[in-house]
Structures are given as structure tokens and as C-alpha cells.
Amino acid sequence: MEHPGNDDGTAVADGYTGVVADPKQSWSAQVGQYLSMALLIPVSTMVGFAIGYLLDRAAGTSFLKIVFLFLGTAAGFVQLYRQLSRDTRNDGS
């Protein structure tokens, strides 16, 4: 059986899945990554509230800031879940 090759004509080894593990990050890169995750939920909540506030002013309503507050919080949690699941999958846990 012939092995599939790359575009440049080189062969692909058996068991190659196309996924290459990232090298270990430095300590400062890890601190920066987790600090950004700590700020993710408060910032996304504030952005959601700000969008709702601006839409409330434009539309003359008073409920959109609460709706977008919850949407911003939910978006923050979704992004936090994605990042944590990506980190645990890469660590082999």
C-alpha cells in the first residue's frame, strides 16, 4: 500500500495524525495566559453591559443592558471552558 505524501513529494510516516504537540511554554507565557483567563469573565461582562447600555440609549429602552450583561457573561464562560478544555487535552489528562 502506498503512503500518502505531502504536497512537496515527501512521504508521511505511519501513525502520523497531522497534529503536532506544542512545545512547553515558558513560565512567563503560562502566567500571561492564565492571567488573561482570570480577566476574561469580568471584561466580557463589562463589554456586554456597555453594548447593552449603548443599544438602550439608541433605542430608548431599559432592558437591553441586562440582556447583554448576561450574554457577555455567558460568552466569557464559554471562552474560559474552551481554553481550559484545550489546555487539559494538550497536557494529556
pLDDT by position in tens, the chain (length 93): 454 555 555 555 555 454 444 557 788 887 888 888 889 999 999 999 999 999 999 999 999 999 999 999 999 999 999 988 887 886 554
pLDDT of residue 20: 42
Q: Which amino acid is at 41?
A: I
- How many alpha carbons lie under 13 Å from residue 34 in its C-beta half-sphere? 7
Question: Which one, of 49, 33, 40, 44, lies nearest residue 73 by Cα?
Answer: 44
| C-alpha–C-alpha distance, residues 22 and 86, integer Å | 12
pLDDT at 30 (0 to 100): 79
pLDDT of residue 22: 54
